[in-house]
């Protein structure tokens, strides 16, 4: 099942699209986007072309920042993380 999901994600990314969760969904943001307390954030908005994502994420002082990052660095969180 995981292999099928991985193949589907790879195919979608290869076609230039991105599989993103709905707004308000908990996400993980790669460290490529900046230095955070943790990569755990909240997806707020996706640009119409699905290339930029607005996320809310905490910095090391635990302040919440809202900013735009490349959607390629945003990943859905699953399970009880």
Residue ranges per structural domain of the chain: 18-76
pLDDT higher than 80, residue 10: no
Q: At a CB cut-off of 8 Å and minimum separation 6, what does 51 contact? A: 18, 70, 71
Give CATH for domain 18-76.
2.30.30
CB 43 within 8 Å of CB 66: no
CB 53 within 8 Å of CB 20: yes
26-44: per-residue pLDDT in tens? 888 887 766 666 778 899 9
Question: Using 50, 70 and 90 to split pLDDT, how confident is the model at 52?
Answer: very high
Q: At a CB cut-off of 8 Å and minimum separation 6, what does 61 contact? A: none
């Amino acid at each position: 099942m995981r292999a099928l999901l991985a193949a589907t994600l790879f195919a979608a990314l290869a076609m230039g699209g991105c599989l993103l969760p709905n707004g308000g969904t908990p996400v993980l943001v790669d460290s490529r986007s900046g230095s955070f307390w943790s990569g755990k954030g909240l997806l707020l908005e996706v640009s119409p072309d699905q290339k930029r994502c607005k996320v809310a994420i905490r910095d090391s002082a635990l302040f919440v920042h809202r900013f735009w990052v490349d959607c390629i660095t945003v990943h859905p969180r699953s399970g009880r993380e």
